[in-house]
Amino acid sequence: MRSKKIIAAMAAILSASLALTGCSNGDEDRQSAPKRTEIKSIGLMVQDMSNPFFSSMDKEAKKEAKRIGARLNVQDAQLDLATQDNQISAFIEQNVDLIIVSAVDESGLQPAIKRARDAGIIVVAVDTPAKGADAIVTTDGVQAGQLACSYLSEKLGSKGNILIVDGTPIQTITDRIKGCKQALKKYPGIKVVAQQASKNDRATGLTVTTDMLTANKDVQGIFGMNDPSALGAALAVEQAGRQDQIIVTGIDASPQGVDELKRAGSPFIGAATQNPRAMVDQAVKFAQDKVKGKTPKKTTILIPSEMITRDNVNKYKGW
């Protein structure tokens, strides 16, 4: 009888132990992962390398990797979520120390990011938020939207009808639209008569603006939530023969945007800045601080924006 009680007791202990093991979470997995003590390898993941914003990130990442003596692997998702998921899996296999990612989808990468962090890899999201990342480094989108729409309103003399060329529903873009509309509250004489979403590129910016101009003849200004869409809007204005009647602002202050600001006769008059180089720099700095045990309390790092216009474009350093 006594031996049966001992066996039963041992079985109960074993069962409890197995139950506790089955309840392990990601934090426990991370504790068991190898601790990073330096950043010797970096994986950079961009949404679309054909966009000069991301090619600027690529250049800065190469510069930063060389500065700290790290290997760099750059991957282009071409706007495909499944591709980014596979890229993270590859980086886990390579055991990189840091992943810098501009996520195609804010929530869609969360499981892959968890796998990376469980493997002890630091993950920093840049430009767009990504759930589960150690930190997010992005432009202050609300501020950028405020700057672009305040400047547009002032140039219109605080009155007139405007169009908004919106974009895909990701946080960075919704923040810019939010900032724009916050700014417009200070200009009751400005009315938004139409708002349509582009696909964040020049071609759809041209298409949606053409449609809105056709439906709304009385328009004096246009806000495009990024330079490609704003430049598409500017082209639509010119194709309609209304470049002397309508002005356009955007967000990015990209090389193409700067060229357009310098082009005589263009309806494009200004852009609030983004700084892709600073995003990469801050991501690397965050990771280096983290491996040294100096993780900042703030895990959302906002890069300030400024307004670039025809008056100051020649002093702007650009991307």
Contact in structure between 162 and 196 (CB atoms under 8 Å): no
Where is pLDDT greater, at 9 or 313? 313
Which pLDDT value is given to residue 31? 54
Residue 29, pLDDT above cutoff 70: no
Q: What is the pLDDT of residues 169-208, one digit of tens each?
A: 888 899 999 999 999 999 999 999 999 999 999 999 999 9
235 C-beta neighbours (distance < 10 Å), count: 22
Which pLDDT value is given to residue 20? 39
Which pLDDT value is given to residue 317? 92
Angle ∠(300,301,304) on CA atoms, nearest 5: 135
Q: What is the mean pLDDT of residues 29-52?
A: 83
The one-character DSSP state at 314 is: G
Residue 17, pLDDT above cutoff 70: no
233 C-beta neighbours (distance < 10 Å), count: 31
Q: What is the mean pLDDT of residues 218-238?
A: 98
Which pLDDT value is given to residue 261? 98
Q: Write down the pTM of the prediction.
A: 0.83
**Confidence band of 4 (pLDDT split at 50, 70, 90):** very low
CA 258: distance to chain centroid? Answer: 20
- DSSP state string for 104-160: SSTTTTHHHHHHHHHTT-EEEEESS--TT-SEEEEE-HHHHHHHHHHHHHHHTTT-E
pLDDT averaged over the chain?
91
Buried b / exposed e over 73-105, threshold 16 CB at 10 Å, is bbbbbebeeeebbebbeebbeeebbbbbbbbbb
State the number of CA atoms in the 13 A half-sphere of 19 facing the CB.
6
**Confidence band of 14 (pLDDT split at 50, 70, 90):** very low
Q: What is the mean pLDDT of residues 48-66?
A: 94
Residue 150, pLDDT above cutoff 90: yes
**Confidence band of 26 (pLDDT split at 50, 70, 90):** very low
Q: What is the pLDDT of residues 264-313, one digit of tens each?
A: 999 999 999 999 999 999 999 999 999 999 877 889 999 999 999 999 99
Which pLDDT value is given to residue 170? 85
- For 30-133, CATH number? 3.40.50.2300
Least trusted range by pLDDT, from 48-62, 146-160, 218-232, 239-253: 48-62
Which pLDDT value is given to residue 298? 86
272 C-beta neighbours (distance < 10 Å), count: 29
Which pLDDT value is given to residue 171? 87
Which pLDDT value is given to residue 35? 76
* Start-to-end CA span in the chain (Å): 81
Which pLDDT value is given to residue 114? 98
Q: Which residues contact 129 (CB under 8 A, 6 or more apart)?
A: 103, 106, 136, 138, 171, 172
- For 141-274+309-315, CATH number? 3.40.50.2300
**Confidence band of 9 (pLDDT split at 50, 70, 90):** very low
For CATH 3.40.50.2300, list the domain ranges present in the chain.
30-133, 141-274+309-315
